[in-house]
Structure 1
Amino acid sequence: MTTELQAPRTIYTVSELNGRARLVLSTQLGTVWVEGEISNLSQPSSGHLYFTLKDRDAQVRCALFRGSVRGLACRPQNGIQVLVRAQVTLYEPRGDYQLVVDYLEEAGDGALRRAYEALKLKLAGEGLFDPARKTPLPALPRCVGIVTSPTGAAVRDVLHVLARRFPALPVLIFPTKVQGREAAAEIAGAIGLAERCGLCDVLLLARGGGSLEDLWAYNEEIVARAIAACSIPIVSGVGHETDTTIADLAADLRAPTPSAAAEAVSPDRVEWLARCARLESQLRHPMRVRLEGYARTLLHLESRLRLSHPRRALDRNAQKLDELELRLQRAHAHCLTRHAARFSRVATRLLAHRPDRTLTLLAARRDDWERRLNNAIRSQLQHRGMRLAQYSEKLHTVSPLATLARGYSITLRRLDGKALLDASEVEKGELIETRFAASSLISRVE
C-alpha cells in the first residue's frame, strides 16, 4: 500500500478532468440517435430549450440551442415520444453528462397518427372526401382492375371471390408494392396507368391488414390525389374492418376487407342468371305472337304475287323504254342540226364585223387628238409666260423697294411703326427708324 502511494502520480484539476471526459465522450460516441420521452422542458429568455429525455429505466439531460429550434417541424412538448440526433458531451461547469440536440422529430404511432389527422383535415377542406364527388359503380363491368401486390394473400382472396361470383368477368392486375417508402408512388402510378389504358370499368385497391406503419402507403397524399383525379370508380379494400386509411376516404366506395371489395365490384352470377331467365320468359310469348303475325303476312303477300307476276310489267316497261330511247335520239339529232346552223350564221356575222379595223381607226383618231392637245398646251404656256413677264415689270416699277434703291428713304415711328409725313408728328425724345434699300437706322429726336 505504501509503495502505491509513493508511485508517481498524475494529478488533474476538476476542470482538466471534466475537459478530458468531454473529449472522450465526443470522440468515442460522436453523433447518436436516441429515442425517448420529453420531460422537465424549460425555455429561458435566451431561446434555448433544456429538457430530459427518458424511458422506463433511465434518463439523460438534453440541450437544444436556439439556432436549431427554428428549423424544427415538431415543437417539443412534455410527454411526447421523440427521436433526436445529438452530440454526446459533458457540461464541464457542473460535470453533467448531456446530449446537445441539433434535430428532433416525433417517433412511433403518435407521429404517424398526427400526420394522418393533419392530412385528413387538409384533404377534407379541399373537398376530396365530398360524397358529391363519388362515382357510382357499374352494375356489370366489362373489366376489373386490381392495384395490389401480385404475391400477397389479398390478391388470392380477391381472385377467388371474383371467380366464385362471376367467372366471365375479365381481371387486370396492376402490380405494385403495398408497403415501404416506394409503395405510395407505385400505387399512384398504377392508378394513372389503369386510367390511361382505358380497359377497366372499375378499380380495386387491395391490401391485407397490418399496423399503421404497414398501411402507411395508403395514407400518403400522392395516393389520395391519384384516387381523386381518376375518372374510373375506385373501391378501397385495405386492411381489416377497423382500419381506415386516407385512401378509403378518397375512394368512391370503402370496403372493410379485400374480399368485401371484390364482392362490391362483381355482379352475382346466380342473381344475373335468374334475371336472364325471367327476361327470357317475358320475351318468349310476345316474340312468338309477332313471328306468327309475320308468317301470316308473308303468306298473304305470296298469294298476291302469284296473281300479278312482275314479268308482265317488266315487258311493258322495256317496250316503253325502247320507244323513249328512239324519241330521244331523234330529238338529239334535230337539236344538233339547229345549233349547227345557228353557229354558222353567227360566225358569218362575226367575220363581217371584225374589230381590228375599228381599233385601227380609233388609234389614228387618238394620235391626232394627242398632237392637237400638245400644241394647244404649248401655245397657252407661251402666251401666259409673256403676260407674267409684263405684269412683273409693271409691279417692279411701282414697288417702294425700287424707289428706295434710287436713294430715297422712309421714316417710321418706332413706337407703332407709322410712316411719318411731317416732323410735327413726333416729339422730342421719341425713337424713329429710317429705312434704306438694304439697311435701316434708328435715331432719337433731339
Structure 2
Amino acid sequence: MTTDLFSKTPEREIFSVSQLNRQARQLLETHLPLLWVEGELSNVSIPSSGHWYFTLKDDQAQVRCCMFRNRNMLVRFKPQQGQHVLLRARVSLYEGRGDYQIIAEHMEEAGSGALQRAFDELKHKLSQEGLFNEAHKKALPSLPKHIGVITSPTGAAIHDVLSVLERRFPGIPVTVIPVAVQGKESAPQIVKAIDLANRAGLFDVLLLTRGGGSMEDLWSFNEEIVARAIFNSELPIVSAVGHEVDFTIADFVADLRAPTPSAAAELLVPDADDWLDKFIGFEVLLEEAMLRRLQQWQKHLLNLRQRLRHPRERLEQQSQRLDNLELRLKNHIKHLLSDFKNHIRQLEIRQQPHHPQVRLQQLRERVAAHHQRLQTAQHRLIERKQQALGETMRMLNTLNPLSTLERGYGLITDAHTKKVITSSNQVKIGTVINARVAQGEFVCRVESISK
C-alpha cells in the first residue's frame, strides 16, 4: 500500500510575474500618500509624446521619475541636467519592467527662493523704470459712473465685491470682465481685459482682484506684461489681490492698492446712507439759513416800518409776500428732496435685473443642458463599443482552437521538447507524449508505431 505524502499539503498560490508586479504597484500606490521629494535631476529625457522622464538623486541613492504632459505643462521652467528641484509625487511601479518609480504631479525649483528671486528681480527692474512712482498714479473718481471688475466670475472675490457695492451704493452699474486668475493663460487674459476696458469707453475706474492663495497661485499678477498693461492704462486701476499680507507687482503699479476685495469695493464707492444723511443735513442747514435770512428781512422791514409809518398797508403786503415765499421755498425744498429719493429708488429697481444671481442661474441651466448632452453621448458611445466587443468575441470564439478539441480532437506534444507531433516519424517506441483534450490533458507512452 502506497501513501501519498503530499495529500495533506495545502495547495500553493502561484503568481505570474505580471500579477506580482500589479499587486506590488497597488500596494505602493495605496499605502504611500502623495508626498514631497527633493533631489538633483539627471538623465533628463523629453520624447515627442511630451512626457518627461528623468532620474532624481542625492549623494547616496537615486530613483526613476516620470512627469506626464498634462502636468508638466504647468511647470514654468524646462528641467535641466543637474538642476535641484522639489517634486510633489506619488510612488508607483512600472509593471512592464518591474521598476520602482515616482510619478510627479508638480515640480518647482528647490527652496522657496526661485519665485521670490524672480519677484524681486522684476520689482527692482520696474522700480528703476519708474513704474511705481506716485507721480504716475491717477486719482479715483469720487462717484464712479460705471465700474469694471476684472476677475474670475466664479471666484469668492467677485461675490464679496458685488455684495459690498450693492450694500453701499446699489445705483452704480458694475460690469464683470471674466478672466482666469491663475494658470498659464491668466496673464494674457488680464492684459487683454485691461485693453478691452480702456477701448470700450464705458468705465471710469477698473478693479483688478482675486482671492488669496500661494505665491504660485498669485503669480499671474507678478507677470511683467500685466504690470505694463496696468501702467499704460488710461483708466485708474485699483488692485486687490489676495489677503492683506499678500503683495504682488500689480499692487505696486496700480493707482491704488486695497488689502482685500471687500476693502477695494468700499474705497471705490461712497456710502449711500451717508449721502442721504448729508442731504438731510443740507436740508436742515438750508432751512436754518433761510429762517435767519427771513428774520433779517423781518427786522429790516420793522426798521423800515418804523421809519415809514404811513404806508403800513404796503409793508403788510410785503410781509405777507415774504411769508408766502417762505412757504413756497420750504415746499420746493421738500419736493427736491423727494425727487432725489425717488431717483435713488428707481436706480435700485433698474439694477435688480442685472443682479449676478440672474446671470448665474442662466449659466447653471446651460451647464445642466451640456451635462445631459454629454451623458447621452457617453451612453451611445458605450453601446457602440459594447456591440463591437461582442462581434470581436464571437470572432475569437470561432477561431479558438479549444472549440476543435471539444469535438473530440486532441493536441499531441512531445513531453520534453513541447513540440506539436503531426507525424509518426517524430516519435519512437517509448517516447513520452502529452495529449491535450477539451477537458484537461494526460501523459502517454508510445507502445507501437504504424506507418
Q: TM-score range by the shorter chain?
A: 0.3 to 0.5
TM-score (norm 2): 0.43
